[in-house]
Amino acid sequence: MPEAHEPLDHPDARVLTEDEKHLAKLGYSQDLHRSWSGFSNFAISFSIISILAGCFTNFGAGFNNGGPISISWSWPILGVFILIIGFTMSELVSAYPTSGGIYWWAAKLGGPRAGFFTGWLNLIGLIAVTAGVSYGCATFIDLTISTWSTGWADGYSLQRVFWIFLLVLAGAAVLNIFSSHLMAIMNNVSVWWHVVGASVIVLILIFIPDQHQSFSYVFTERFNNSGFSDGATNNFAFWFAIVPFGFLLTQYTITGFDASAHLSEETASASKAAAKGIWRSILYSVVGGYILLLCVVFAIPNDGSGNPDNAGVGAGGVAYIFNTAMGTNWGGFVLFISASAQFFCATSCMTSASRMTYAFSRDGAIPGSKRWAALNANRTPANAVMFVAVWAAIVTLPALIEVNIGTADAPLIIPIAFYAVTSIAVIGLYLAFAIPIWLRFTHGEKFEVGSWNNGAKYRWMNPIAVAEIIIVSLYLMMPFVPGAVPFSDDFSWKFVNYAPIVTVGALIALVIWWNVSAKNWFTGPKQTVDQAVLDSIE
């Protein structure tokens, strides 16, 4: 019998499950509530990827940088590479199913310094993806209401969208603080909302528009709305600079799948369930997202001359396609389905980011760690949730600056801040992924694989995964418009893609911090489980 003061769920007071034994061997006691099923674990990554969010909010990034071919060809090609990245990460989470996820793997395989830099890159990326998804959700909420209610507002307002963005962040935070089990249920609902919602939108796009574009248009049409290279579409710059700018559409949409790792301490049979959650969420999203995007491109309306309205779509994005091709009733309905899905996605992003903040703080890596690692009565990291929400709001403040590359009579507002935030998310997350993926490769046969692994295929998978991450990250640090090119005649700070400023600046700050201070006190993951428990397991 345990002592009267000892809680019944204390490791010494009962027989440990296999999940708890595995976690104890990694150094941690079971503090979080393990109430997530394998489906719920898959569901959170699938919800964060959210084809109804990234495919629509970043559609313009792909369409304007190459045209339809930048979507019809880039998506499946990049999707294969991202699936390879997912397989390499599935192998890692099977061996090390902890909430720290990416950071913990790097620290285990490369020591405290590797863990320190990986953890901060991962945290920056998770905060940015929470901000990007929440801002996209706010934009689509505003578009939905504006489509259905002509009296809602007079034109687009950055300030109004920003206030909606803050409300979305607040709503996601409250739901995350309330209950971990509630979040598992929400993610289960989110999967079906995405599956049914995407299917409904596909059917609407097939049957409602009066006309559709040709296969030739969808798979061969190309143009250059980037402002670079004088609009050329047949030179070296177009294929190796302009089109890669559009990679943001695919790479941003299919990200956040590390959530399956961050929620592994709350998942039953985590060694297998979290591994499957990562690669399955990627595969289903690649296939579903491609079908959805093709239907959107086929539905692009014609202009007054009977030609595809490339200019209108380039300026108005998917909302212009929906409302012009189908009318405001159907268009508003599609926008509503997407906006709702994006709220599910934002809430899941908050869950993943807060668990990473909790785990990283548990090991003392974030200033004020004791506060951010604290759990409330519902055994959820409420303080970590608020930490993520506040920083997500701060990093999105530049969205209040209007960036108009058009004229007073024909304004063209470019969401530079949104593209920058989403670029930060992609760069931070994927660079964090690259470190443990490469370290696993260098360990070779010495790496102790889990119940789910890639066998000998890691020898070619891991180098390909790292190369893809580095190449895409470099492209996403480039200027989005000519006015962002330093020392050009049209240069203005409001046009600048601040993704490299944030990521490179953060890396420089981390290097200084590590060498001046952190290396003296940060020792990597800390053991929180009692030694007696470890001895009993062994």
Share of the chain above pLDDT 90, in %: 53
The pairing of beta strand 65-66 with beta strand 223-224: antiparallel
Sign of CA dihedral 115, 118, 120, 125: negative
Band of the pLDDT at 334, cuts 50, 70, 90? very high
Domain contains 1 = no
The residues pairing with 338 across neighbouring beta strands, listed in sequence order, are none
Domain contains 33 = no
Gap between the Cα atoms of 280 and 512, Å rounded: 39
Where is average pLDDT lowest: 46-60, 291-305, 432-446?
A: 46-60
Kindly state the greatest CA–CA separation across the chain: 84
Q: What is the DSSP string of 30-82?
A: --S---B-HHHHHHHHHHHHTHHHHHHHTHHHHHTEETTHHHHTHHHHHHHHH
Gap between the Cα atoms of 67 and 55, Å rounded: 15
Helix (H, G, I), strand (E, B) or coil at 398: helix
CATH of the domain at 170: 1.20.1740.10
Query: Across all residues in the chain, what is the average pLDDT?
Result: 87
Domain contains 535 = no
pLDDT in tens, 209-233: 999 999 999 999 998 888 888 888 9
Q: What pLDDT was estimated at residue 325? A: 93
For Cα atoms 83, 88, 91, give the angle at the middle one, nearest 5 degrees.
125
Using CA atoms, how far residue 535 sits from 12, 18, 381, 524, 527, in Å, is: 11, 15, 29, 22, 14
Domain contains 479 = yes
Residue type, 516: V
Gap between the Cα atoms of 205 and 91, Å rounded: 38
Phi, psi dihedral angles at 68 (to 5 degrees): -55, -35
Gap between the Cα atoms of 427 and 507, Å rounded: 12
Nearest by Cα to 466 from 506, 505, 439:
439
Domain contains 182 = yes
Alpha helices in 254-377 (DSSP H): 259-262, 270-298, 310-326, 328-362, 369-372
pLDDT in tens, 365-400: 999 999 998 988 878 889 999 999 999 999 898 888
Domain contains 149 = yes
Residue type, 432: A
**In Å, how far from its chain's centre is CA 48?**
6
Q: What is the DSSP letter of 224?
A: E
Q: Which residue is listed with tokens 């380039």?
A: 314
Other Cβ atoms closer than 10 A to 535: 8
Nearest by Cα to 115 from 528, 535, 526:
526
Gap between the Cα atoms of 384 and 366, Å rounded: 11
Query: Domain residues for 466?
Result: 11-27+38-518
pLDDT score of 180 more than 70: no
Gap between the Cα atoms of 163 and 158, Å rounded: 9
Domain contains 121 = yes
What is the token pair recorded at 299?
């539905």
Domain contains 371 = yes
Using CA atoms, how far residue 143 sits from 10, 155, 471, in Å, is: 50, 10, 34
* Tally of domains in the chain: 1
What is the token pair recorded at 196?
């049914």
Indicate the pTM of the whole model: 0.88
Determine the average pLDDT of the residues in 17-27: 80
What is the token pair recorded at 484?
């962002």
Q: What pLDDT was estimated at residue 36? A: 83
pLDDT in tens, 428-438: 999 999 999 99
Gap between the Cα atoms of 443 and 29, Å rounded: 27
